[in-house]
Amino acid sequence: MLKCLNGDQEVLSFQLDEKGWDLLRQQNQQERHLQMSCCDARVVLKRSKLNVPFFAHLKRGLCTSAAETSEHLAAKFLIATAIESAGWRVTTEMKGLAPNGAVWIADVYATKNDWIRVFEVQWSRQSNEESIARHSIYKQSGVRTMWLFRQKEFELPSEIPAFRLIHRSENSFCVEIETESGEEHIELQRFVKGALSGALKYAPTMNALLPLEVWIAKMDCFKCKRTPNIVAEFRILASRNLPGHRDLTFSFEDLSSSSVAETLAQQLLPNASVLQKARIGPVKMRYSKTLRISYLSNACAYCGVLFGQFFSHHAYDHVSGFESTVDISKNLVDAIDSLEHQVNVWWFNTSR
């Protein structure tokens, strides 16, 4: 552990320089004045395999606190020092009580004014159920908690901030985040400081006005044998306004399967005469004899025949056809299923 007690005073290993650490060890060897915070056992000062100074039980006795790996200690040490340098107060192995009586012990606990942030380093495997249960206990206690998992797979509700933590070498860790250019690795201390200063946000595209590209593609008309264009997909360029954020995309099929497809098409697409100039037939509700329903469809700009969803897979030569802006409203996200998991994500501002 990075914390022990001297009477009722906390002693934190990451707050001592090398000289202070050696002096404390000598003093403790003579006086045995330090106590563990998990039980009242006497303390021995050690250095981990990764050279992190920490406090251990002189004799473990009946204490049930889990032994920590050197990676777990090192990650906590880096997080704690990053929090301090960001001007927050910090302690480790902080014990708290939820309103329902459940006890929690936070790996790293940061406070500033009325804000409380907890960082949990999960080096041992934890099931999704347990993560959700522990998160709920923190939430009930009014504590905002971030999870850093060694394990690759975890599936938590998207609003819970949870990321993969990777040990690169010695005392170097990074956090894996999703960006427009793929998975990016942010150095742990930079990530922690960013998280405390607003660089980490949930669903930042919600209610934002963002650039929209309508992508079009060529289609060989099966009836008139000419080659008109069709509306193929939509790309919302979130990364332009939010550096690192993934662009949001959805297909024409995603749009046409929405219950408010017609209204949305009017908002997202240029009017029929602009479409016609681009050799795109009117995009509107049409009755399909095959499916026996009306749905939003592309049509041939030359002969007017409906292009069913089936045929759109034969479109080719996709290019950006039109640019405008779109308001990422709740209505839009609710109307197009594939947008939900693209909008409700954590975004780390990579420009900071």
Site mask, Zn ion, residues 64-103, x = CB under 5 A? -x--------------------------------------
Burial grade of 317 (CB within 10 A; 0-12, 13-18, 19 or more): exposed
The residue range among 11-19, 100-108, 269-277, 293-301 that interacts with Zn ion, by the rule CB under 5 A, is 293-301
Residue number with CB closer to Zn ion (34 or 237): 34
Q: Closest Cα partner for 226 from 157, 302, 289, 144?
A: 302
In contact, 258 and 264? CB cutoff 8 Å? yes
Task: Report the 10 Å Cβ neighbour count for 211.
Answer: 16
Find the helix or strand (DSSP H, E) in which 216 lies: strand 209-218
Residue number with CB closer to Zn ion (165 or 300): 300
The residue range among 9-17, 146-154, 302-310, 341-349 that interacts with Zn ion, by the rule CB under 5 A, is 302-310
Q: How many residues does the chain have?
A: 352
Q: Which of 23, 51, 63, 334 binds Zn ion (CB under 5 A)?
A: 63
Distance CA 24, CA 225 (A): 87
The CA distances from residue 220 to 31, 214, 223, 262, in Å, are: 88, 20, 9, 25
At its nearest, how many Å lie between Zn ion and the CB of residue 224?
3
At its nearest, how many Å lie between Zn ion and the CB of residue 36?
4
Residue number with CB closer to Zn ion (257 or 276): 276
At its nearest, how many Å lie between Zn ion and the CB of residue 302?
5
Distance CA 5, CA 131 (A): 29
Strands 144-149 and 115-122: parallel
In contact, 39 and 92? CB cutoff 8 Å? no
At its nearest, how many Å lie between Zn ion and the CB of residue 256?
19
Strands 182-187 and 200-202: unpaired
Find all residues with CB under 8 Å of 269, minimum gap 6, and list them: 214, 231, 275, 283, 322
Site mask, Zn ion, residues 210-239, x = CB under 5 A? -----------x-xx---------------
At its nearest, how many Å lie between Zn ion and the CB of residue 131?
24
The residue range among 167-175, 261-269, 299-307, 334-342 that interacts with Zn ion, by the rule CB under 5 A, is 299-307
Size of the site for Zn ion (CB under 5 A): 11
Strands 3-6 and 229-236: unpaired
Site mask, Zn ion, residues 180-199, x = CB under 5 A? --------------------
β-pair partners for 287: 294
Site mask, Zn ion, residues 21-60, x = CB under 5 A? ---------------x-xx---------------------
Distance CA 148, CA 127 (A): 13
Distance CA 152, CA 130 (A): 16
Residue number with CB closer to Zn ion (75 or 300): 300
At its nearest, how many Å lie between Zn ion and the CB of residue 60?
7
Q: Which of 74, 192, 199, 300 binds Zn ion (CB under 5 A)?
A: 300
Amino acid letter at 147? W
Asked if 1 touches Zn ion (CB under 5 A), the answer is no
Residue number with CB closer to Zn ion (180 or 220): 220
Residue number with CB closer to Zn ion (81 or 227): 227
In contact, 348 and 234? CB cutoff 8 Å? no
Site mask, Zn ion, residues 133-172, x = CB under 5 A? ----------------------------------------
Residues that bind Zn ion (CB under 5 A): 36, 38-39, 63, 65, 221, 223-224, 300, 302-303
